[in-house]
């Protein structure tokens, strides 16, 4: 194990987050919170709406894959959000294209590390920025369906001609 993984495991343990060494780094157990894993671009929209209120990680291809084009990254990128348990309906999460990980048998790759297929796992919003608390939905963000139904629309500025 690398010293980086050892430090991360010690930090997770110091804050009561169950973690263990995983195949490519660290694995986080979803026994004390719900881990929502969802593909881009929906994950990016959820992150934009919640910002630093929820610990958020990304699972993405390595930086050099951008040389193959942005689509190669976006198609494989996933977002992982740490929610307090019991707030999200697993069926709703599944209908919205996500996966809800929960329980002592649910382990998800966590930073620092890589997935077995070589994707990089890194924090976008580290747990320390959210004071090591999982996000508790406040009613506005309790449905991924609501977020998907309110995707920002791109408008063009068209100047009227006199």
Three-state secondary structure call for residue 104 = strand
The mean pLDDT values, 10 residues at a time, for the chain of 162 residues are 90 96 92 90 82 85 61 70 87 85 94 88 93 78 50 41 47
> If we measure between CA atoms, which residue out of 61, 104, 59 comes closest to residue 79?
59
Instruction: Tell me what pLDDT residue 118 has.
Output: 84
Instruction: Tell me what pLDDT residue 141 has.
Output: 46
Angstrom distance (rounded) from CA 28 to CA 80: 11
Instruction: Tell me what pLDDT residue 91 has.
Output: 86
Instruction: Locate 101 and state its tokens.
Output: 């990980």
Q: Burial letters for 73-104: b for 16+ Cβ neighbours within 10 Å, e otherwise?
A: beeebbbbbbbeeebbeeeebeebebbbbbee
Instruction: Tell me what pLDDT residue 23 has.
Output: 84
Sign of CA pseudo-dihedral 51, 65, 9, 7: negative
Instruction: Locate 67 and state its tokens.
Output: 């040389």
> If we measure between CA atoms, which residue out of 113, 110, 101, 89 comes closest to residue 17?
110
Instruction: Tell me what pLDDT residue 4 has.
Output: 92
User: Angle CA(150)–CA(76)–CA(25) in degrees, nearest 5?
Assistant: 115
């Amino acid at each position: 194990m690398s010293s980086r993984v050892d430090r991360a495991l010690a930090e997770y343990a110091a804050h009561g987050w169950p973690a263990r060494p995983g195949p490519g780094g660290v694995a986080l157990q979803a026994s004390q919170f719900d881990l929502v894993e969802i593909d881009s671009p929906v994950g990016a929209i959820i992150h934009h709406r919640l910002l630093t209120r929820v610990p958020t990680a990304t699972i993405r291809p390595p930086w050099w894959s951008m040389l193959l084009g942005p689509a190669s990254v976006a198609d494989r990128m996933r977002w992982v959000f740490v929610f307090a348990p019991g707030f999200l309906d697993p069926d709703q999460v599944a209908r919205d294209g996500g996966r809800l990980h929960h329980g002592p048998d649910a382990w998800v790759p966590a930073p620092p590390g890589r997935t077995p297929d070589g994707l990089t796992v890194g924090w976008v919003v580290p747990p320390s920025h959210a004071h090591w608390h999982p996000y508790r939905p406040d009613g506005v963000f309790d449905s991924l369906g609501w977020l998907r139904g309110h995707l920002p629309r791109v408008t063009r500025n068209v100047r009227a001609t006199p």
